[in-house]
Structure 1
Amino acid sequence: MTSNGPFGPIEFQLVLLRRMADHQPELVDEARHELGVSLAAMREANRRWQAMVRSPRSRSAVARYRSVLGEPESVTRRRIGDLECDALIWPVVLWPTLRFEVMTAPGGAVWNEWLVRAPGETGPEPRTAEDLRPWSCTVDEVARAFPPARPLPGTAPTRTGLRFTLPGGGTAVAEFTWGLLQRWTE
């Protein structure tokens, strides 16, 4: 990968990994090796992505995702309360049972972007706190497994928090990056 080459799905996954490295550097190193890229290549991909996002000539977020990831695997109309939105999903090589989902409001504004379980894939069904291993669950899966759950603000734009109830009582807080579980604490 060079800074002059095209920015595609592999480079985008390096961007996802770059933010996850803050919490799970060992898992990120394994994933990088699986993709066959260096740490320098991951940093370069992140630099290029940030330049695209912050460019004064930047295209819309949806147009940027389409240019990098290609046409979505599917586009689904969803109703969330009174809001009708579109969910665009793309496959990700590193997580074959997950998809990268971009939710757009009317007019095309992106209001959420994260990893979700692929349609038709059976996700984990955590029953105990010990089942919550890094990269094992999405936000939705933890929220469904341990109700009541309440979203919390993340510590960065790509991060999400979730306060949930442990089996037998007590609460915990999980941290997610791009919608994928990174860690949790009681």
Structure 2
Amino acid sequence: MAIGFARFEFQLVLMWRMLDLAPGRVEDALKELGATRAQMREAHRRWVSMPYSKTAPKGIARYRMVLGPPGETGPRTFGDLDCTYSLWELPLWPDLRFEVLTAPDGSTWHHWLVRAEGSPTPKLNGLDDLTPWSCVISDLGERFENARHVEGDAPGHWGVEFSTEGHDYQARFVHGLLQLVQGPR
């Protein structure tokens, strides 16, 4: 019997990529969710196989199938590019939203976790506050004016280089959520 795929499994999919960089935090979250590594691995396997299925929905329809209707949608413009943002709540990260940016044809351009409107931005007074899952990319960018985005080394990964206290660091994010800080360099 096939098991459904919904928010619970989707959270496991997001954590699969986080496992390499923040294994302790992922293990804690698995316990919190009452899930196993085997369930996380299976959820990831199913998610990555969906785009190859002839019957599974594509683009934004895939997210809607799994997560239901978004809590919020609206237009967004980046330069000459018009797109639509869609936001979903995920129980594991109540102060964040999963955001998907889509083209006018419904294909997806980008997806990640972002701070929910009205949720408090974490106090990032120093390096000790930059712990796994403590902030999203925009939080770090607001705190360190010299922050510079760099491409990640795997799907869903992203980096932000910044300087503080005379040293250079790189924060590594997965799906927009901080996993670790490397440095000083």
Give the TM-score, by structure 1 length: 0.92
Deviation at 1:55, TM superposition (A): 2.9
Q: 2: CA distance between counterparts of 1:128 and 1:44?
A: 38
Runs of 4+ in 1 over 6 A off after TM superposition: none
How is 1:100-179 mapped onto 2 (pairs within 5 angstroms)? Answer: 100-166=98-164, 168-179=165-176
In the alignment of these two chains, the number of paired residues is 183
The aligned counterpart of 2:46 is 48
Contact residue 148 and residue 161 of structure 2 kept, 8 A:
yes
Q: 2: CA distance between counterparts of 1:61 and 1:125?
A: 35
SS at 1:172's partner residue?
A: strand
Deviation at 1:29, TM superposition (A): 1.2
The aligned counterpart of 2:10 is 12
Contact residue 144 and residue 163 of structure 2 kept, 8 A:
yes
Gaps of 5+ in 2: none
Q: Deviations over 1:85-129 (max 9, x none)?
A: 211000011011111000113322211100011111112131212
The code of the aligned residue for 2:182 comes to T
The code of the aligned residue for 2:120 comes to T
SS at 1:7's partner residue?
A: coil
Gaps of 5+ in 1: none
Q: 1: CA distance between counterparts of 2:55 and 2:160?
A: 35
| Residue identity (%) | 44
SS at 2:162's partner residue?
A: strand
The code of the aligned residue for 1:47 comes to R
When the two chains are superposed, the root-mean-square deviation of aligned CA atoms in Å is 1.5
Q: Deviations over 1:146-175 (max 9, x none)?
A: 111111111111101111122x33321111
The code of the aligned residue for 1:150 comes to R
SS at 1:29's partner residue?
A: helix
The aligned counterpart of 2:67 is 69
Q: 1: CA distance between counterparts of 2:145 and 2:158?
A: 17
Q: 1: CA distance between counterparts of 2:126 and 2:31?
A: 31
Give the TM-score, by structure 2 length: 0.93
